[in-house]
Structure 1
Amino acid sequence: MENYKLTPERIAAYGRYLIQEERAPATIEKYLRSIHSFAAWLDGRAVTKETVAGWKEGLLEEHRSPSTVNAALSALNGLFRFLGWEGCHARFLKVQRRLFRDPARELDRNSYDKLIAAARDLGRDRLALLMETICATGIRVSEVRYITLEAVQRGRAEIRLKGKIRTILIPNKLARKLLKFAGKEKNVSGEIFLTGNGKSLSRRQIWAEMKRLCKYTGVAPSRVFPHNLRHLFATAYYRAYKDIAKLADVLGHSTIETTRIYLLTSGAEHQRQLNRLGLVS
């Protein structure tokens, strides 16, 4: 095998490639973070199957979750494909399909209502409406920028992400609230949710603002992050209509298998299902 060296120039070139491929900014950031972590661990050594396997073992020894390890390996494998280093690919951990959600990370409707109420009580109307917008439409936090005044006036937003375009309908009640908010903010065009300086809200800023609500609500911080609002939308939609194919289209998933992950029952609900079997005398 060639003496493969992972240089800053090669990592930067891969970053530019991901941008050209129109990967989501959050995805690019996550991939490059894993790659830089791997490069730091290498400390100048060559990339081989053995060093990749060693890094993988190191992550497991740090008690990283299987999904976290596989996400890091996916980032490396993408880099190796880009560089033509086919012999360096890492094997993913084999993980049995989960049957239920981790209760420590599950956001239920009651907790969601507490977060919205707390945001309003604290005068953080923008945050309350932002959370309602994500939860009522199922959009990703990276897609918030597509909620513009023009989209609200039309009642639909065109989401362009990952090389795909999908149309999101905006519920009437939400549209009225968004228009009222835009009028109050003297917003005459463009994005609805902006910083005080007129810039787009970043994923990190939205995440941080949501986390601050935890101390006022008693909701565990592990349950509070933007993507959980999307999960709550998926659960509510499926319970109401039982149409997983349409839900997959609404969420922008390429396969129904991805959507199934969003519909895992809670551990408590799974326990009730087992109890109802009545197989213990």
Structure 2
Amino acid sequence: MEGYIVNNRRLTEYQIRAYGLYLSMQDRSKGTIEKYLRDTMAFAQWAEEREVTKELAAGWKASLLERGYAPVTINAMLSSVNGLFRFLGWEDCHVRFLCVQRRLFRDSKKELNRMDYQRLLFCAREKGKDRLALMIETICATGIRVSEVKYITVEAARQGKAEISMKGKIRMILLPAKLCRKLLKYAKKEKIASGIIFRTKSGKEIGRRQIWAELKGLCKFAKIEPSKVFPHNLRHLFARIFYKASKDIIKLADVLGHSNVETTRIYLVATGEEHQRQMERLGLVL
């Protein structure tokens, strides 16, 4: 990669790689690190060899808006680049985020509901994809991230709980008894005596991309819009059902591993249809 001039400082491939190493030491997920570095490279390529100032960084923000990027996407890209500035001690280049009003409701076309979930399970079983069906059930029944599937082990199933270490935090999640029985039965059938339960034929940990691809492969058969089907939506479904049962957002944040309850609130935003029904029930139009 060519170097880039930043306030008479030369941004090198070594520094960008060092930023990636720093992120990994902060226990950021592989996907997050890839995104941060991708955003950083996008900024560096746009800046070319111009001296980068706060004003130029703001100009990049404006160019992203002009190119039609969504405000939420722009803020995510700015977060990546601001993180690099902090890492290198270049706080003077820090650029402010766009002000985005918190969403009142989400798009129902992108929401996986309980019926969709049941259809996915049914179709996975009908197609003989026992591992995928059990993985879908495990993610949705526990609320774990797809990157945390590796913590579902034979030992965890026997103990009824799994210890998850992610993003510098350790949390304990409880596994439903019925799920534990299913996990142990599957492990016995696959001759897995210990360690990770969900693994490839070669015995390696199954990757997030493979899980994503296998889920997408069910969409046509299950007659579900592909936009609804991805691992994180199973986590969202768990969050909504858990909160509906408990009405305890603090406990839900702990279960999900969120440091900030505002992140948890995003999971609980109602759909447009739900929001419309709530408005109708107010009875203020006489």
TM-score by length of 2: 0.94
Counterpart of 2:3? none
Counterpart of 1:228? 233
Alpha-carbon distance between aligned partners in 1 of 2:231 and 2:10, rounded to the nearest angstrom: 37
Quickly say closer, same or farther: Cα 1:28–1:142, change in 2 above 3 A: same
Quickly say closer, same or farther: Cα 1:71–1:51, change in 2 above 3 A: same
Alpha-carbon distance between aligned partners in 2 of 1:198 and 1:229, rounded to the nearest angstrom: 25
SS, match of residue 157 in structure 1? strand
Counterpart of 1:35? 40
Q: Indicate which of 264, 274, 282 corresponds to 1:277.
A: 282
Counterpart of 1:20? 25
1:68 and 2:96 equivalent? no
1:172 and 2:177 equivalent? yes
Alpha-carbon distance between aligned partners in 1 of 2:56 and 2:210, rounded to the nearest angstrom: 36
1:207 and 2:212 equivalent? yes
Find runs of 4+ consecutive structure 1 residues off by over 4 angstroms: none
SS, match of residue 168 in structure 1? strand
- The count of residues paired between Structure 1 and Structure 2 equals 281
Q: Deviations over 1:88-109 (max 9, x none)?
A: 1111011111111222211111
Note the residue ranges of structure 1 that are not aligned, 5 or more in a row.
none
AA partner of residue 240 (structure 1): A
Q: Matches of residues 102-141 of structure 1 in structure 2 within 5 Å?
A: 102-141=107-146
Alpha-carbon distance between aligned partners in 2 of 1:270 and 1:4, rounded to the nearest angstrom: 51
Alpha-carbon distance between aligned partners in 2 of 1:53 and 1:10, rounded to the nearest angstrom: 22
Q: Indicate which of 74, 87, 92 corresponds to 2:92.
A: 87
Alpha-carbon distance between aligned partners in 1 of 2:208 and 2:42, rounded to the nearest angstrom: 21
Alpha-carbon distance between aligned partners in 2 of 1:52 and 1:138, rounded to the nearest angstrom: 37
Alpha-carbon distance between aligned partners in 2 of 1:81 and 1:172, rounded to the nearest angstrom: 45
Q: Deviations over 1:49-71 (max 9, x none)?
A: 23322322232233222221111
Deviation of 1:6 after TM superposition, in Å, equals 2.8
Q: Deviations over 1:111-162 (max 9, x none)?
A: 1111111111111111111011000001111111100111111110000111
Counterpart of 1:53? 58
Q: Percent identity?
A: 63
AA partner of residue 189 (structure 1): S
Contact in 1 for aligned 2:154/2:195 (Cα 8 Å): yes
AA partner of residue 39 (structure 1): A
SS, match of residue 101 in structure 2? coil
Counterpart of 1:267? 272
Alpha-carbon distance between aligned partners in 1 of 2:192 and 2:98, rounded to the nearest angstrom: 49
Alpha-carbon distance between aligned partners in 2 of 1:44 and 1:223, rounded to the nearest angstrom: 42
Deviation of 1:265 after TM superposition, in Å, equals 1.0
Counterpart of 2:201? 196
SS, match of residue 183 in structure 1? helix
| C-alpha RMSD of the superposition | 1.4
1:246 and 2:247 equivalent? no
